[in-house]
Amino acid sequence: MVHTTVTVTVNDTFFNASTATGTENGTQEEVLEVLELSREEVIPVPGHVNGVNALGLVVFSMCFGLIIGSMKEQGQLLRDFFDSLNDAIMRLVAIIMWYAPIGILFLIAGKIVEMDDLTQMGGQLGMYTITVIIGLMIHATIILPMLYFVITRQNPFIFIAGLLQALITALGTSSRFVLPVGATINMDGTALYEALAAIFIAQVNNMEMNFGQIITISITATAASIGAAGIPQAGLVTMVIVLTSVGLPTDDITLIIAVDWFLDRLRTTTNVLGDSIGAGIVEFLSRHELRSKDVEMGNSVVE
Query: pLDDT tens digits for 1-45?
Result: 344 445 545 455 554 555 545 545 555 555 555 555 555 544 445
| Percent residues over pLDDT 90 in the chain | 12
Neighbours of 62 (CB within 10 A): 13
Q: What is the pLDDT of residue 19?
A: 54
Of 69-83, 163-177, 288-302, highest mean pLDDT: 69-83
**What is the rounded CA–CA span in Å between residue 237 and residue 225?**
10
- What's the pTM? 0.65
Write down the pLDDT at residue 173. 73
Residue 25: CB atoms within 10 A of its CB come to 6
8 A C-beta contact, residue 243 and residue 198: yes
Give the rounded percent of residues in the chain with a pLDDT score beyond 70.
Answer: 70
pLDDT at 3: 43
**What rounded mean pLDDT belongs to the chain?**
76
pLDDT at position 283: 87
